[in-house]
Amino acid sequence: MARPRLRRAQLGVVVVLALLALAGTKARRGQMLVNPATAQPGASAVVEETEGVLEGASLWQKRWWIDRTARLLRGGEGLGPEDDLAALLPLSKERIARRFMLDERFGDTILDFNLFFLGFKSDQLKSASAYDRTVFDFPNAVAAAQALLKDGDYFKLFDLEGPFYMAPLRSEPLDEPPQPGDEGLTLAQLRSKAMREIEAVFADALALAQARPAPRLADLCKAVEALADSGQTLTPQLHRAFDDAEIFALIRGEVLTRPLEMLAKVAEKACDERTAPAAARKSLLEGLESALAEIKRAFSAIVEFEPDRYQPKSVPEFKRFALSAFPTKQKWLSFGFEQGMALGNSSTNFNRKRAAYVLKRFFCDDLIPIGFESPQEHVAGVHGSQTSCYACHHKLDPMAGFFRTYGAYFFDYARSPDIIFDDLASKDRVLYEAVWKAASKLPAWNIGYIRSARFQSYNSYGTSMGDLARILRTAPEVKRCLVKRLHEYIVAEDQTIDRGYLDYLTREFEAEAIVNASRAFKSTIVRLLQSAAYDQRDADPKRCYDAAPGSLPGEGPPCRVAFILSKNCAQCHNAGADDEAARLDVGSWIPAPDGQRRIFRHLDDKLAQLSARDSLARVIERLSSTDASVRMPKGRVMAGDERQELFLWAQEELARILEQTRP
């Protein structure tokens, strides 16, 4: 059933309807109760707030606010019978919020938000008081949540290399039926059995090397080479006891591959006939000892996460895995198993999917609306060098370069001659990476976050994950995106936000974060909880309820219009644009030449400011033209309802100007 199109009604009618609705509500409130049993004063009583935050708000409304805030800040758990609502009622919103932030469950809220920010939120973090195992898959989310609870470095959220939080090992039976000989074993027993079997294989080889009398060198070489070559057998033997997420960790940790690789190198050198026999034996013996030690160390660390030993009940109890116990020397990426699946890189994708993810989640730069249908503008080659593609690809491809050594499941092939992709195809790694080599000498690689196609000084370059993390930590766009996402999480994902208000929130956050990122984040939460948008029971998603403190009406186009402009137009039409698009800055709102009204900074081809009438007429023409060379936004798909809203606003403004200037 179609919703009545109230939005097409005249503004005055909408206001009248709203007033009537409000009057009706107040009339109904006249019947309200008094309930001594629950110690509630009359529901329509006004609360006197010592800090003036809730003047005029009814008790009912405040209880709603408190319950909603409790649910938000306590990991989804609102007010219950143990909560003393009466004690909370006299407090200001800020004090209530900060009290809830001291609750142990606040860690769950922050973890949940972090997952939301990363694009991997779930319905619940826990089932029956145990954390869902997928939560452990996002170490930067966990680390940042832990840091925030201690007022530490919340920006660990942006660290793409770091700790590994292994989940409690699985206790439910695996999907595959048990292999012969494994029947009747619990999963923990099976794990133990599998690990012992692997250790035994290495131990047997070591025993041979240590035997007296010593075996013939040729026999020893044969045994070690056979062991080094037994990966195809040992791997499934070990993996049969683990589930996919655990196997992912075993592979990334190179639990088997690295010792076997090491043994292969040792054998190759030691078993060369030019090597003296005594030296060869020593080398082989040491190699076997080292391999066995590596295996044992890894298994000992894994066993610490057996579910009967480890079941965290809160975010602070999440335990880091001792990464030094894994044979790998590579840094542990924060992209875990699920992200490995979700952000696969095929042999033809050139990491663009991963780049688009980073731009979207960390920079709020959603390249999706860019679309074009003209086949002449087909992307040729690995970079979108055609003009129409350039709008996206000049950002996308350099960002993709940070992932150039990461293949399937984010496995790092930097040490390998080939790179294997998620579609199982492989390529020569050096040739593949050459795609990101820059034409000029500086920077050597065309990898980074690109703000300007023309001025390199505006861009942030790098080559490694560490560089990308540094960029994320320092880029103002990322902090703004973080605040925006927090607004989405707390208020609503589709709620229009006044750009000036978002700027204000971001400015405050940035200023406070210089001192302490966690406290700054908490303060931003408080500001949002105090916002008018949060206070709405039935918010209109297209309305801006909040403005920056001190802002005056008329200082910009209507909030919704500004929102649409910033979403669809401001990427090109801004003061910092490199090209002709800079002649229109939709982020500005300056006095028009006639001095009577305000309009965008909009220059003609002689760089003179257009009149309000001419500027709006051009906007209208560009929005409604069917000529592809004229129609705006160029090369982008704009949502039809947003185009219409913008068009109608411009048309109404123009009509008003014409009416006022009519002789």
Partner 1 sequence: MMRALCSAAFVALLLQPAGAMAQSSQFKGWAAVSRELSIRLAPQGHPFDLDEFLPSGSMDELLGTWTTFGTEHRFRNGTPNALNMTIWHAALAGFAKAVGQSCTSPRLMFHERFLTTLHTLCAWPAPAAKEEGVLLAFWTSVMGYNAGEQEYAAWRDFFLREYANQPATETVAAMTFAITMHPSFLLNR
Partner 2 sequence: MQTVSRRDVIRLGAFGAGSVLLAGTGPTVAADPDGDPHFFLLVVLDGGADPSYMFDARPLSMTQAGKIQNYLGEEPGVWTGRNGVTTLATRLVAPLRPFGDRFSVLNGVYMTPSFDGHLQNMNFLFSGSPFGGDSFIPHLNSPETGRPPGSLDAVLPTDPLFLNVNNHSSVVPLQPNALEQLAERLRAADPPRADDVLGRFVRSRMAAAAEGQGRMAAGAQRMLASLDQAPDVHLKLAALRVPDDHMAPEPRAIALIAECFRLALSRSAIYVLHEQFDVHDADQAKLQPKLFSEAVGKIAALFRALVETQFDAKRSMLDVTTVLVASEFGRTMRAPEMPIHATGTNHNQFANSILLGGKRIRTGLVIGASDLVDEKDTPSKAHLAMDPALEKVMGRPIDFTTLRVRPVRPDAFDIEDYLTIGSVVNTLYAAFCVPKARYRSNGRNLPTAAVLDGLLA
- Report the interface residues with partner 2, using CB under 8 A: 1, 3, 6, 14, 17-18, 21, 231, 235, 239, 244, 247-248, 251, 257, 337, 341, 346-349, 368-369, 371-380, 407-409, 411, 413, 416-418, 420-427, 492, 494, 536-541, 626-628, 631, 637
Three-state SS at 645:
helix
Distance between start and end Cα atoms, the chain: 47
Identify the residue among 150, 274, 537, 606 touching partner 1 (CB under 8 A). 537
Q: Which two tokens stand for residue 597?
A: 């009204």
Residues constituting the chain: 663
Minimum CB distance to partner 2 smaller for 92 or for 426:
426
Phi, psi (rounded to 5 degrees) for 477: -60, -35
Identify the residue among 349, 456, 459, 644 touching partner 1 (CB under 8 A). 644
Residue 538 CA from chain centroid, whole number: 28
54-73 residues near partner 1, rule: CB under 8 A = 58, 60, 63-64, 66-68, 71
Report the C-alpha gap between 112 and 522 in whole angstroms: 15
Report the C-alpha gap between 639 and 162 in whole angstroms: 40
Q: Taking CB within 5 to 8 Å according to partner kind, which of partner 2, partner 1, none is near residue 346?
A: partner 2
Give the DSSP letter string of 503-544. Answer: HHHHHHHHHHHTT-HHHHHHHHHHHHHTSTTTT-SS--TTS-
Half-sphere exposure (CA, 13 Å, Cβ side) for 645?
Answer: 18
Residue 544 to residues 46, 198, 617, Cα–Cα distance (Å): 26, 62, 26
Identify the residue among 95, 98, 121, 193 touching partner 1 (CB under 8 A). 121
Q: DSSP state, 334?
A: S
Q: Taking CB within 5 to 8 Å according to partner kind, which of partner 1, partner 2, none is near residue 378?
A: partner 2
Q: Does 530 bind partner 1 (CB under 8 A)?
A: no
Identify the residue among 335, 357, 402, 461 touching partner 1 (CB under 8 A). 357
CB 292 within 8 A of CB 275: no
Minimum CB distance to partner 1 smaller for 82 or for 273:
82
Q: Does 10 bind partner 1 (CB under 8 A)?
A: no
Identify the residue among 11, 28, 180, 232 touching partner 1 (CB under 8 A). 28
Minimum CB distance to partner 2 smaller for 376 or for 440:
376
Three-state SS at 120:
coil
How many CB atoms sit inside 10 A of residue 285's CB? 19
CB 474 within 8 A of CB 468: no
Q: Does 341 bind partner 1 (CB under 8 A)?
A: yes
Q: Does 247 bind partner 1 (CB under 8 A)?
A: no
Q: Which two tokens stand for residue 458?
A: 């505006």
Residue 641 to residues 49, 148, 646, Cα–Cα distance (Å): 42, 40, 9
Identify the residue among 43, 262, 264, 420 touching partner 1 (CB under 8 A). 43
Minimum CB distance to partner 1 smaller for 184 or for 663:
663
CB of 233 to partner 1, least distance (A): 29
Q: Does 488 bind partner 1 (CB under 8 A)?
A: no
Q: Which of 340, 326, 323, 348 is nearest to 411 (CA)?
A: 340
**Positions in the binding site for partner 1 (CB under 8 A):** 2-3, 7, 25, 28-29, 31-38, 40, 43, 58, 60, 63-64, 66-68, 71, 76-82, 119-124, 128-129, 134, 338, 341-342, 357, 492, 494, 536-537, 539, 541-542, 620, 623-624, 639-641, 643-644, 647-648, 651, 654-655, 658
